[in-house]
């Protein structure tokens, strides 16, 4: 089976991107990272991607409507023959039209055990709620934010002296472990989106 041409969308440092690139370098991994795309020209992850000789694209979002931005995004993904999309710290809300066009082929990593703690300031939300366990979730992207069918999760103990930073760091290590697993499941056809559910085979 040919490895699926995959794009990673980032807005920042790209540590999850780096974990996906490292996984895809293994022989037999069912996805190849064919493009890293950012809305932020200064995203640290872009340099890391270039160091791996991966094509990069920058689509600034300033001065564009969401539809204009997403149309450019869609065109760029198609130009590069992209089959799968991984959001990895991509801090843009995508239009329903874009998400529907890529349904079943676009996934995200989120630093909480969804459906708990959607949106931003996730670790602050977890600490404020007093949960003893948090974690991370890899899921299909659907129009509703952070609500897509779950592909993979990992949990992390919340310690009494945790700060947002200490909790984020422990969860990030788990993100780096499960996101490549989720992409492997998707790219190998062992999980698919069917009638709004993740179906495993
Ligand atoms: C990660 O923790 C990711 O889960 C989070 O942003 C961070 C990006 O870090 N994403 C979200 O909060 C999306 N809702 P990275 O650039 O080092 O991968």
110 lines ligand 1 (CB under 6 A): yes
Which tens digit of pLDDT belongs to each residue from 83-141? 999 999 999 999 999 999 999 999 999 999 999 999 999 999 999 999 999 999 999 99
Query: How many Å lie between the centroid of ligand 1 and the Cα of residue 111?
Result: 7
Measure 109 CA to ligand 1 centroid, in angstroms: 7
Work out whether strand 191-194 and strand 197-200 pair parallel, antiparallel, or are unpaired. Answer: antiparallel
- The pLDDT, as a whole number, for residue 1 is 78
- Which phi and psi (to 5°) does residue 136 adopt? -145, 160
Q: To the nearest whole percent, how much of the chain has pLDDT over 70?
A: 100
**Which CATH code of 1.20.120.140, 3.40.50.300, 3.40.50.170, 3.10.290.10 fits the domain covering 4-200?**
3.40.50.170
**169-195 average pLDDT score:** 98
CA 185 distance to own-chain centroid = 14
Domain range list for the chain? 4-200
Tell me what the mean pLDDT of segment 8-20 comes to: 98
76-93 confidence digits (pLDDT tens): 999 999 999 999 999 999
Q: Kindly give the distance from the C-alpha atom of residue 172 to the centroid of ligand 1, in angstroms, as a whole number.
A: 8
Verify whether ligand 1 is closer than 6 Å to residue 43 (CB atom): no
Instruction: Identify the residue whose C-alpha is closest to ligand 1 atom 9.
Output: 89
pLDDT greater than 90 at residue 25: yes
Q: How far apart, in whole angstroms, are the C-alpha atoms of residue 136 and residue 59?
A: 28
Calculate the alpha carbon distances from 177 to 17, 53, 124, 131, 135 in Å: 12, 23, 23, 22, 12
Ligand 1 pocket residue status of 139, Cβ below 6 Å = no
Work out the mean pLDDT of the chain and round it to a whole number.
97
């Amino acid at each position: 089976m040919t490895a699926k041409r995959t794009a990673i969308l980032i807005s920042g440092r790209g540590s999850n991107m780096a974990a996906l690139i490292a996984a895809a370098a293994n022989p037999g991994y069912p996805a190849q990272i064919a493009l890293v795309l950012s809305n932020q020209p200064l995203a640290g992850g872009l340099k890391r991607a270039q160091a791996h000789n991966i094509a990069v694209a920058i689509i600034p979002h300033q001065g564009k409507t969401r539809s204009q931005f997403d149309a450019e995004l869609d065109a760029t993904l198609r130009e590069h023959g992209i089959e799968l999309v991984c959001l990895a710290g991509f801090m843009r809300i995508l239009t329903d039209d874009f998400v529907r066009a890529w349904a079943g082929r676009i996934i995200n990593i989120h630093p909480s055990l969804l459906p708990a703690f959607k949106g931003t300031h996730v670790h602050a939300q977890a600490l404020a709620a007093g949960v003893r366990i948090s974690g991370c979730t890899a899921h299909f992207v659907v129009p509703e934010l952070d609500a897509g069918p779950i592909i993979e999760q990992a949990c992390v103990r919340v310690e009494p002296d945790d700060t947002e930073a200490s909790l984020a760091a422990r969860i990030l290590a788990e993100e780096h472990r499960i996101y490549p697993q989720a992409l492997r499941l998707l790219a190998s056809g062992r999980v698919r989106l069917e009638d709004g559910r993740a179906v495993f085979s």
